[in-house]
Structure 1
Amino acid sequence: MASAGGNQNGQSAVAQDFVQFALDSGVLRFGQFKTKAGRMSPYFFNAGLFDDGAKLMRLAQFYADRLIESAVEFDMIFGPAYKGIPLAATVAAELARRGRSVPFSYNRKEAKDHGEGGTLVGAALKGRVLIVDDVMSAGTAVRESIAAIRAAGAEPHAVVIALDRQEKATENGRDVDHSAVQYVRNQLGMAVVAIATLDDLLHYLSNRADDGLQEHRQAVLDYRARYGAG
């Protein structure tokens, strides 16, 4: 079901509620932040700050909401190390709470030479696999996940992320015309679902003149004009 794209509706209630939640949690911040690509971004999204049980539970609800809304199909969940590990576990738990129990697994960075060994932990990879992660910048974690899933004889079928920054990826230190999300969707033929996108963030900011947040909108627009993917 590769045609199931990310959030295409800037007015989505789920997306707008998620932006508010990310701000309230201190996960989404405005200022000047240097990205991995060396860009100075006017906003920063740090999913590592979903750092207590209540936040993680609410985050899993957002993932489940978007997955159900997207109707993307999958048989199991995979969480790439490291941030994808708690995400995979909590999303699987939330889906089970809603009546659909699916297996999940994750990888570790270094293979064990004792016990079960290897780099994969949890359920055996099989069928159509949904990769769960926070954001997709260079797409490195997703590509590594795809390789691991295929090596196990399963199908890397779809990806769900919290935020699609909708900006150009970098390859060999140079900007390219597509984003990592567009690459996975268009070149690899996989569905990519995002709880929210940069469009959703801009829509949120345009309606927040009363609380001082609208002042950040122009800086985000300028950043998008310079680095936004087509």
Structure 2
Amino acid sequence: MSDHRHRFLQLAVRAEALRFGEFTLKSGRISPYFFNAGRFDTGRLLAELAACYADAVDAAGLDFELVFGPAYKGIPLATALACEYARRGRDLPLAFNRKEAKTHGEGGHLIGAKLAGRRVLIVDDVITAGTAIREALSSIREAGGIPAGIAIALDRQERVREDAAESAAQAVAAEHGIPVIAVATLSDLLDFAGETAALAAHRDALLAYRARYGMV
């Protein structure tokens, strides 16, 4: 497992962003684990998380010029990533969207740097149904931006529906012809649980969940 994946999973457990037990998901599935990026709730945690994102994006060799955060969780994630790249000597423009267009002042639903003509990296926590990502892609294209890729923290690698042949992340990547880069995946989590004594008791439940809902 690459260093940034291992660091991310350690960080997620330490921040309690990654929890184990029995959780009912929005889909109605009963999952043995739950990921909540909202638990990266201090400056230090966000800085460490951003470093993991940056390492994952750099490892993928993605060519991009602007960082974009979809409302709401994507906004602090994209901001933290832009700050991390600035720390590394690359000062990238940053933009994000509002859920509802502003009707006063400068108006509109986009905030930050201009997107026109720029290759855009979208940063979010996960892709579940893909709705927020599709809205972000539409906004970016309407503003003249060029979607270059999507970076997420965790890819659950599970079928979005029982009869689906793809995961949500795969479906979005195929639909829009852009890569989805995950800092870590369910496969990485299984490896991590296998080598971490405190998590070993959860590995069988994770394997059973993947066997039922995971990608073949």
| Alignment TM-score, normalising by the size of structure 1 | 0.90
- Distance in 2 between residues matched to 1:110 and 1:175, nearest whole Å: 33
For residues 1-230 of structure 1, the aligned pairs below 5 Å read: 11-126=1-116, 127-170=118-161, 175-208=163-196, 210-211=197-198, 213-230=199-216
Cα separation, 2, equivalents of 1:124 and 1:229: 38
Larger RCO (CA under 8 A, 6+ residues apart) = 1
Q: CA deviation at 1:175?
A: 4.5
Partner-residue secondary structure (3-state), 2:133 = helix
Identity of aligned residues (%): 53
Residues paired across the two proteins, number: 215
More displaced, 24-33 or 147-156? 147-156
Note the C-alpha offset of 1:185. 2.1
How many Å apart are 1:187 and its aligned residue? 2.9
Determine the C-alpha separation between the residues in 2 that align with 1:97 and 1:12: 22
Q: For residues 76 and 51 of structure 1, what CA distance do their matches in structure 2 show?
A: 24
Deviation at 1:229, TM superposition (A): 2.0
SS of aligned partner of 2:127: coil
Distance across 2 between alignment mates of 1:50 and 1:125: 28
Q: Which amino acid aligns with 1:190?
A: I
- CA–CA distance in 1 between the matches of 2:182 and 2:37? 14
Q: Give runs of ≥4 in structure 1 deviating > 3 Å.
A: none
Letter in 2 for 1:166: Q
1:188 and 1:24 map into 2 onto residues whose CA distance is 35
SS of 2:174 mapped into structure 1: helix
Q: CA deviation at 1:186?
A: 2.4
CA positional deviation for 1:68: 1.3
List runs of 5+ in structure 1 lacking aligned partners: 1-10
Match of 1:167, SS state, is coil
Q: Distance in 1 between matches of 2:115 and 2:129?
A: 24
Q: Structure 2 regions of 5+ residues with no counterpart?
A: none
**How big is the shift at 1:154?**
1.4
Amino acid at match of 1:162: A
